[in-house]
A and B are shown apart, each in its own frame.
Chain A
Amino acid sequence: MLPHLLVPLAALLSLRLGPGTHGSELPKPPEAWFEAEFFHHILCWLPISNQSKSTYYEVQLAWYGRSPWESLPNCGQALELCCDVTMYTLHLYRSNGYRAKVRTVDGSRYSNWTFANTRLSVDDVTLKVDSVKLEMHEGFIFGMIQLPRPQVAPPGDTYESIFTNFRQYEIAIRKVPGSFKSSRMVDHENFTFPIPGEVGKFCVKVKPSISSRTNKGIWSEEQCITLTKQYFTVTNLSIFFTLILLLCGPLAYCLVLHLYVRRRGTLPAVLVFEKPSPSILISKPPYPEMQDAIQPLHEETFLKVSPELRHSDLHGSMNIGFSSAKPSLQMEEPQFLLPAPHTQACGALGKGEPPDLQVSCSDGGSSGSGSSGSCSSSTDSGICLQEPGLNPGSGPLWEQKVGSTSQGQDDSGISLVQNSEGQPGRTQNSSPLGHISLLGPEAPAEEDPATAAFQGYLKQTRCTEEKTTIAACLEEETPLTDGLWPQFRTCLDPEAGWPPPGLAKGYLKQDPPEITLAPSGVPPGQCNQMTEEWPLLGLTICGDLGPSDWSFTHDLAPQDGVAAPGGLLGSFDSDLVTQPQISSLYSSE
């Protein structure tokens, strides 16, 4: 009987110990599921509640619709709750997926299988990029998305080949320490993010997606980049060099033009002034052999001097901006040059000059010899003699500027006072002044004319000087009779001030009426001394200077500034004479 029971008992025992047979109820894992990323597939499950140290889990995997279940030996070791099944699911992206199941094993006991919730398919793969590379260029952040490149992937199975179309990426950017506030979608792995004019640290993260699929995506790790002020950018450098070219171009052009003009251009001859030697006034004449020679004057030169001019008063006027209320006297003849050195005008004159000339010279004490031209002529040299009819008795001393014309407009030079009350006596009184013609004692009475007379320049005349010189010479038996160059001497006290010599154009500026001349009583010896001091010019005014109340109390001019006739005056450095006088003129103005 017992042998007959052995067979059913053995069958019963085999059924209980077979696969899936549990010695006791062993709980199965509550749940199992797949978690997958691109070629990183994980099967996870929940543990049982009362597991022991000998409990482990068995995992099996099947290619859906292709193969039977296959056990995975490396899964379920110890108390692991997840198992990497990537190597067993490499065909996931080319098939309909995989199914998996898990059961609990504890010794000889096994639980029931727990199937994964879903079939592992392509739709279950969570998309994620590998990384993002950031670069900055001129206010833009250039991003390059790095797609995953798993090494276990079969050849040809790349992210781009599996997900060929409709790849999209969500880009989020934040500025440290701020948070991500917004994002935008891009359709390519390369993107740009404008950051105009901002500096600081910026972080970017990317989440991929496929528009035609339902795959989920996850954000990548943040990739940060620090933006700094870029001064030396291509744009800035190009703008800088462009500005340099724009600035340097005109400058270079102007420089070249200036150099070119300087080389080519030359000053007109009339503008070329020979710088006079400071010692020219006191130095010897240009002709060394004539240094001490007394040049006689030509008679004919004196014939041109109208008597009226000798008697007319001389009053100056500014060259510019001033217009004499009274016509200025001008010389008719354009030129009045001193004769050659061999001529001895003084002596000749003293020995018998033409009467008219003598008269003119003698009478024109304060008046100058010159042309008898009217004041209507041009006085671009500043010298204008009074018309004979206007002031017959006071011919002003004047000098004719070389090259000046007697015809023309009245310039701002010396203009003689139209002394309607010109008196011979007055003239006489003023005659010793020689080249200096001043208003007589009546000048103070005639306030306005006198003031006007003393505004400007004092015209010097050679004739007057000569006359004075002649007078002085006649009295003193000076070497003038030897036919020397007529020397215009003044017996003024040098310390009292030499009347300012005329301008280079022949003007001698007069001082205001308060300026008085030195006493007329200048000893002859002083005349000689002064002559010696100024041999070239020899301007000495000796003799009675006129009214006793006339006196120069201040230095009218530098001592070396002496009025000289005609051509000599042309060598005057007018600046030496006029500069202080101009200042006084301005002050008087």
Chain B
Amino acid sequence: MKAQCASLWLLGTTLVLCSVHTPALRRCPLFVDMHHLEESFQEIKRAVQTKDTLQIITTLSTVEILRSIKPTDVCCVTKNLLEFYMDRVFKDHQELKPQILRKISSIANSFLYMQKTLRQCVHRRCHYSEEATHATRTVHDNYDLLEIPSAAIKSLGELDVFLAWIDRNRREADPV
């Protein structure tokens, strides 16, 4: 009974803090080891990007697509892109090399933890702005223009862009 009370008390406190401190919610504090993620990607970057033959087409690096996201939409956009990678990219990519597959799995697990963290602070239906809606839709449209293997490999190759954007938003939210 005491443990249940304590967990309920903790959840309620978190919700109260999230609801009261809206700017903090919009900032989406992500407690994740970004350095580990970046190291994991660097180990698979060459293998993945070498296979990307569509050099000019991009899914996440369209012109100012992520730089135009407002701070209030960062949390929802982050959540949406995490779902994009978890539901489409990691599942569509077929990796044969075990070393690369292990690193991709590690990155996926970290993304899963990030999703859980964000669910505590983000409502189920985000109120996207026009810019946020346009950005997430462009990412999905670009992914759909390509063939699935090429799209998946290209999206994996652009993880560094997504991770850099997350890291920048995290440091802006908590400049330590």
Interface of B is mostly: helix
Query: How many residues belonging to A are interface residues under a CB distance threshold of 8 Å?
Result: 21
Using known A-B contacts A65-B61, A65-B63, A121-B160, determine if residue A214 contacts B38 with beta carbons closer than 8 Å: yes
Residues of chain B with a CB closer than 8 A to A66's CB: 61, 63
Q: Is the CB of A211 within 8 A of B35?
A: yes
- Contact indicator B63/A214 (Cβ below 8 Å): no
The answer to whether residues A96 and B42 also contact, given A62-B55, A117-B49 and a CB cut-off of 8 A, is no
Known pairs A65-B58, A65-B62, A115-B53; list 15 more (Cβ under 8 Å): A64-B61, A65-B56, A66-B63, A68-B56, A99-B55, A115-B50, A115-B55, A117-B46, A117-B50, A119-B49, A122-B164, A123-B45, A123-B160, A211-B35, A213-B35
Chain B 47-60 near chain A by CB (<8 Å), digits 1 or 0: 00110010110100
Question: Can you report 7 residue pairs joining A to B where beta carbons are below 8 Å apart?
Answer: A99-B56, A115-B50, A118-B49, A118-B50, A211-B35, A212-B34, A213-B38
Closest beta carbon of chain A to B41's beta carbon, Å: 8
**B29 adjacent to chain A (CB < 8 Å):** no
Tell me, yes or no, whether A146 is within 8 Å of chain B by CB.
no
At the interface, yes or no: A183 with Cβ under 8 Å from chain B?
A: no
| Count of A-B contacts judged by CB separation below 8 Å | 53
CA distance A214 to B157 in the complex (A): 16
- Interchain CB contact under 8 A, A118 and B63: no
A320 to B59, CA, bound (A): 123
| B63 CB to nearest chain A CB (Å) | 6
Minimal beta-carbon separation of B59 from chain A (angstroms): 9
Q: Which of chain B's residues 26-78 have a Cβ closer than 8 Å to chain A? A: 34-35, 38-39, 42, 45-46, 49-50, 53, 55-56, 58, 61-63
* Residue A165 CB within 8 A of the other chain: yes
A586 interface residue (CB < 8 Å to B): no
| Distance A37 CA – B167 CA, assembled complex (angstroms) | 22
Which residues of chain A (74-128) have a CB below 8 Å from chain B?
96, 99, 101, 115, 117-119, 121-123
A62 pairs with B56, CB closer than 8 A:
yes
Q: Is the CB of B58 within 8 A of A64?
A: yes
- CB-based nearest A residue for B40: A214
Complex CA gap A244/B35 in Å reads 60
Residue A69 at the B interface, CB < 8 A? yes
Query: Complex: how many Å from CA A240 to CA B127?
Result: 77
Question: In the complex the two chains form, is A214's CB within 8 Å of B39's CB?
Answer: yes
Closest-CB distance, B169 to chain A (whole angstroms): 14
How close is B81's CB to chain A, nearest CB, in angstroms? Answer: 15
A residues within 8 A CB of B56? 62, 65, 68-69, 99
- Chain B nearest Cβ from A28, distance in angstroms: 14
A65 CA to B50 CA in the complex, in Å?
Answer: 16
User: A520 to B53, alpha carbons, bound, how many Å?
Assistant: 153
Residue of B nearest to A68 (CB): B56
| Residues in B whose Cβ lies below 8 Å from that of A68 | 56
- Complex Cα–Cα for A212 and B62 (A): 25
The docked-state distance in angstroms from the alpha carbon of A115 to that of B45 is: 14
Contact flags B1-45 to A (C-beta < 8 A → 1, else 0): 000000000000000000000000000000000110011001001
**B55 with A212: CB separation less than 8 A:** no
Evaluate contact between A212 and B35: CB separation under 8 angstroms: yes
Chain B nearest CB from A114 CB (Å) reads: 11
B171 interfacial by beta-carbon distance below 8 Å: yes
Contact: A118 with B55, CB < 8 Å? no
Q: Which 8 A-B pairs have the closest CB atoms?
A: A65-B61, A65-B58, A96-B61, A99-B55, A214-B42, A118-B49, A96-B161, A214-B38
Q: Which residue of B lies closest to A31 (CB)?
A: B50
A185 to B61, CA, bound (A): 36
Scoring B residues 150 to 165 as 1 if CB is less than 8 Å from chain A, else 0, what string do you get?
0000000110110010
Q: How far is the CA of A68 from the CA of B55 in the complex (A)?
A: 10
Minimum CB distance partner of A121 in chain B: B160
State the Cβ distance, A278 to closest chain B Cβ, in Å. 103
Q: How far is the CB of B33 from chain A (nearest CB, A)?
A: 10
Chain B positions 102 through 119: 1 when the CB is less than 8 Å from some CB of chain A, otherwise 0: 000000000000000000
With the chains together, A62 CA to B55 CA distance in Å?
Answer: 8
